[in-house]
């Protein structure tokens, strides 16, 4: 059977890329990834008020070219309209949108949304947390990448996000988080591995260097191999509360995960539902709770969702 061909559409953010690529890989599809860019004014208009037209797109070559795709997998507000355009151009394309598209679900063959988003519909499939592209095999393969820097002793990995519309990441909040890691882990003989993300500003990296040297080391920039290796090497993992994607990715490790909470700037009820779900599943606890080893059932939502997609395609 020939491999499926997929076009992936996102806004270029790590969490979105991880989700569309995770599903494409689980489907064993050949894929191309296109970052959607809109003409200026359309960046501020919600999808439900945006015309289904190529005029909104800064680059529409992927709409006009003659490539044929079996699937379009999209994620993010900006990718909604181009996915609908491609479906109208060729109704044989199977379109999947990840997260709430904020338009009629009938515009897509499938919607994949995390359970904590509470979306309902005949063509909605829910996932526990965010689907992603990380596998156990990738984590183990990356392990040697940091092994020279982490010889001897216990390790705690700190995965840092960055400011968004829900969390400010003030220096005061970060100093408190770093202090809790020192009192809960460093004081017990742990070394820290600090891993920044694409949203981590330099001031936070600089503050982490100041706080953790010589009791660990800090990766200075975005480094996927270091990110994966930190999961493989750590005894425990701490993830800041701003990203359900990063917490979902950390869960593939099977290691104890502590969430470093900060005060939200606005109602974060979706985050709260996610934290409650993952706590009930035995995956996370709050930073500051007792440091101990625990286990939870390994799960790979990308593979589970992919099997449901294959069933839909076969029908």
Give the CATH number, domain containing residue 227: 3.40.50.2000
Please report the pLDDT score of residue 148 as a whole number.
Answer: 80
Label residue 275 by pLDDT band (50, 70, 90): very high
User: The whole model's pTM is what?
Assistant: 0.90
Residue 99 CA to residue 221 CA, distance in Å, equals 28
Mean pLDDT score of the chain: 94
The answer to whether residue 228 sits within a structural domain is yes
Give the CATH number, domain containing residue 49: 3.40.50
Residue 120 sits in the same domain as residue 60: yes
The answer to whether residue 296 sits within a structural domain is no
Q: What is the number of residues in the chain? A: 315
Please report the pLDDT score of residue 1 as a whole number.
Answer: 56
**Local structure of residue 143 (DSSP, 8 states):** T
Contacts of 148 (CB under 8 A, 6+ apart): none
Residue 246 CA to residue 84 CA, distance in Å, equals 29
Label residue 257 by pLDDT band (50, 70, 90): very high
Residue 123 sits in the same domain as residue 151: no
The answer to whether residue 292 sits within a structural domain is no
Is the per-residue pLDDT at 65 higher than 90?
Answer: no
The answer to whether residue 297 sits within a structural domain is no
Domains in the chain, number: 2
The answer to whether residue 294 sits within a structural domain is no
Sign of the Cα torsion 299, 302, 303, 304 reads: positive
Residue 17 sits in the same domain as residue 123: yes
What is the tens place of the pLDDT at every residue in 80-133? Answer: 999 999 999 999 999 999 999 999 999 999 999 999 889 999 999 999 999 999
When pLDDT is averaged across residues 244-272 and rounded to a whole number, the result is 95
Residue 39 sits in the same domain as residue 60: yes
Kindly report each contact of residues 92-99 with a partner whose C-beta sits within 8 Å and lies 24 or more positions away, as own/partner.
93/69, 94/70, 94/312, 94/313, 95/71, 96/23, 96/71, 96/72, 96/309, 97/73, 98/16, 98/19, 98/20, 98/23, 98/73, 98/74, 98/131, 99/19, 99/75
Residue 161 sits in the same domain as residue 280: yes
Q: How far is CA 305 from the centre of its chain?
A: 16
The answer to whether residue 298 sits within a structural domain is no
The answer to whether residue 274 sits within a structural domain is yes
Residue 208 sits in the same domain as residue 255: yes
The answer to whether residue 201 sits within a structural domain is yes
When pLDDT is averaged across residues 167-190 and rounded to a whole number, the result is 96
Range of the domain at 165: 136-286
When pLDDT is averaged across residues 155-180 and rounded to a whole number, the result is 97
Label residue 66 by pLDDT band (50, 70, 90): low
Distances, alpha carbon 174 to alpha carbons 177, 203, 207, 251, in Å:
5, 11, 8, 23
């Amino acid at each position: 059977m020939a491999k499926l061909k997929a076009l992936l559409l996102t806004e270029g953010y790590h969490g979105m890329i991880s989700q569309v690529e995770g599903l494409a890989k689980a489907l064993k599809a050949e894929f191309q990834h296109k970052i959607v860019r809109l003409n200026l004014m359309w960046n501020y208009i919600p999808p439900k008020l945006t015309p289904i037209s190529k005029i909104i797109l800064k680059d529409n070559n992927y709409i006009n070219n003659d490539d044929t795709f079996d699937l379009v997998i999209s994620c993010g507000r900006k990718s909604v309209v181009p996915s609908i355009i491609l479906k109208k151009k060729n109704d044989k394309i199977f379109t999947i949108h990840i997260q709430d598209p904020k338009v009629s679900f009938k515009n897509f063959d499938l919607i994949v949304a995390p359970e904590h988003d509470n979306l309902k519909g005949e063509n909605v499939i829910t996932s526990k947390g965010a689907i992603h592209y990380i596998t156990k095999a990738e984590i183990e393969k990356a392990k040697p990448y940091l092994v020279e820097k982490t010889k001897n002793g216990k390790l705690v990995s700190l995965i840092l996000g960055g400011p968004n519309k829900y969390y400010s990441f003030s220096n005061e909040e970060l100093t408190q988080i770093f202090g809790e890691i020192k009192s809960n882990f460093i004081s017990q003989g742990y070394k820290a591995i600090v891993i920044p993300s694409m949203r981590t500003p330099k001031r936070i990296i600089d503050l982490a260097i100041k706080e953790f040297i010589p009791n660990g080391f800090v990766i200075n920039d975005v480094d996927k191999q270091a990110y994966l290796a930190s999961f493989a090497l750590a005894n425990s993992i701490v993830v800041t509360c701003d990203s359900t994607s990063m917490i979902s990715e950390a869960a593939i490790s099977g290691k104890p995960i502590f969430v470093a909470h900060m005060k939200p700037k606005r109602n974060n009820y979706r985050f709260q539902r996610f934290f409650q779900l993952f706590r009930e599943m035995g995956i996370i606890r709050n930073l500051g709770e007792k440091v101990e080893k625990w286990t939870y059932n390994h799960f790979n939502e990308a593979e589970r969702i992919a099997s449901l997609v294959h069933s839909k395609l076969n029908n």
